[in-house]
Amino acid sequence: MIFDVSHPEIQDAVRRALAEDIGSGDITTNLCVSEDAVATGRMVARQNLTLAGVELLPLIFTGGTFDQKRKSGDRLHDGDEIAVVEGPARALLTGERTALNFVQRLSGIATLASAYVCAVEGTGCRILDTRKTTPGLRRLEKLAAAAGGATNHRMGLYEAVLIKNNHITAAGGVRAALERTRDAGVPVEIEVRTREELDEALAHGATHLLLDNLTPAEAKVWIAHINRRAVVELSGGITLGTARAYAETGADFLSSGAITHSAPAVDINFGLRLV
């Protein structure tokens, strides 16, 4: 899994995070620690997790030497070493919280995504993330979801057509919405809320359907009716406990906003020692 941190949005996110924390200077570190002190910082997992975001560390701890032990997407156990960085002690202390905030948060997303992927293993159904991300951090959080094995849904509104119920209402119906997007030049997916809307969508050439807030039993009946005439995504209230049942309905995809909006940060330690 490649966790590419070269994108300008990611570079900017790191700069903003450092500026937010440091401001005019790290008062505590500058008063307590000698300017010429050199230290080694060791980042270690304190629980089982799927790692994401370790590739950001050289952007945070600039001016030191960096030894990355593991990469995004790796499964770690409690006690596994993630990375070792050596450099000015002041720089390591000043960047510590920003580094942990990123890696703990992103690894939390990767860990939850991995749990969803494991829950549906063997069914042929794939897990999708959503746009329910932290404002300004979408690209990073989607990279983290991918590190956990999820498939990235559209990055933003510009990337694909997803006709939701409010679009259908505003457009004047399923048929009108589909006709207006026929020449979009990008993938088109439409949400259907009733069997009538489902049949109308299929009759007017829908190739990718979103079925929302159905029970697994209901979804199985609808998918049997669709009979492979369109790709099917299920969403709405799908949890780790129910993901397997939804996947076994024959759906092609399950989408979960929880992967990004509700993933708990994982426990990672950053220990410092003077050289």
Q: What DSSP string describes 230-259? A: SEEEEESS--TTTHHHHHTTT-SEEE-THH
Of the pLDDT bands very low, low, confident and very high (cuts 50, 70, 90), residue 2 is confident
| Percent share of the chain, pLDDT over 90 | 98
Domain boundaries, the chain: 8-117+263-274, 121-261
Catalytic residue among 70, 97, 175, 180: 97
Tokens linked to 2: 């490649």
Q: Which CATH class is domain 121-261?
A: alpha beta
What are the φ/ψ torsions at residue 239 (nearest 5 degrees)? Answer: -110, 175
How far is 100 from 32, CA to CA, in rounded Å?
Answer: 21
Mean pLDDT over residues 220-233, rounded?
98
Mean pLDDT over residues 235-256, rounded?
97
Mean pLDDT over each residue of the chain, to the nearest integer = 97
Q: Is 67 an annotated catalytic residue?
A: no
Architecture of the 8-117+263-274 domain: Alpha-Beta Complex (3.90)
Question: Torsion over CA of 26, 27, 29 and 33, rounded to 10 degrees?
Answer: 140
Catalytic residue among 46, 71, 126, 164: 164
Catalytic residue among 70, 132, 193, 220: 132
Closest by alpha carbon to 233, among 205, 214, 261? 214
